[in-house]
Amino acid sequence: MQELPRPADEPDRLQALRQLLILDTPPEERFDRLTAFAAQEFDVPTALLSLIDDDRQWFKARVGMGPCETPRSISFCGHAILQDDIMVVPDAHQDERFTGNPLVTGEPFIRFYAGAPLRLPDGHNVGTLCLLDSKPRTLDEIDLAILGSLRDLAVEELVRREPGTATP
């Protein structure tokens, strides 16, 4: 497993994330519906709206994942925020970044990952809308377009969200 690099703009990225005032807030139906739709649309057991904090990835919305956060050091999403395009890992057993990763070798036994970076209008990637499966798979161009559109909806919701409010 490779060490997780940090974005060059990490201090500014973290500030942008924290200005959203969303970390550790209660579930919100609009984000829950988005992840539920993604899980159903792509027929995956797990879909997450993941926000990458300094030392953890926290899940604002989740389907098929028990914990509400995991260490950033083992996160797939921490790699995905380093790029602007959707990151697809067809088989984590074949990707040197994730060999030996406890999320691959143990629960939830990730084999497939697709993460669409949540890019704020200021240009900072603060997290992902991601899909996980315990079996290898790929996404075609239509799938990538759908995941990208769902990601865009998630970003719109994050940006328009009024700080300190939980709306259904």
Give the residue extent of every domain in the chain.
Answer: 10-160
Of all residues in the chain, the percent with pLDDT exceeding 70 is 94
Residue 124: name the closest of 4, 6, 17 by CA. 17
pLDDT digits (tens, 9 = 90+) for 114-136: 999 999 999 999 999 999 999 99
Distance CA 8, CA 2 (A): 18
Residue 70: name the closest of 4, 124, 157, 146 by CA. 4
Instruction: Name beta bridge partners: 114.
Output: 88, 131
- Residue 27 above 70 pLDDT? yes
Say what the pTM is: 0.92
Residue 127: name the closest of 154, 91, 101, 162 by CA. 154
Tell me the HSE value of 165 on the side-chain side, using a 13 A CA sphere. Answer: 10
- Residue 94 above 50 pLDDT? yes
Average pLDDT, the chain: 93
- Write down the CATH superfamily of domain 10-160: GAF domain (3.30.450.40)
Residues 6+ positions from 118 with CB-CB distance below 8 Å: 49, 51, 125, 126, 127, 128, 129, 151, 154, 155, 158
Supply 29's token pair. 């139906």
| Residue 147 near residue 139, CB atoms below 8 Å | yes
Q: Find the length of the chain.
A: 168
pLDDT of residue 74: 95
Give the number of other Cβ atoms within 10 Å of residue 155's Cβ: 19
Distance CA 6, CA 25 (A): 25
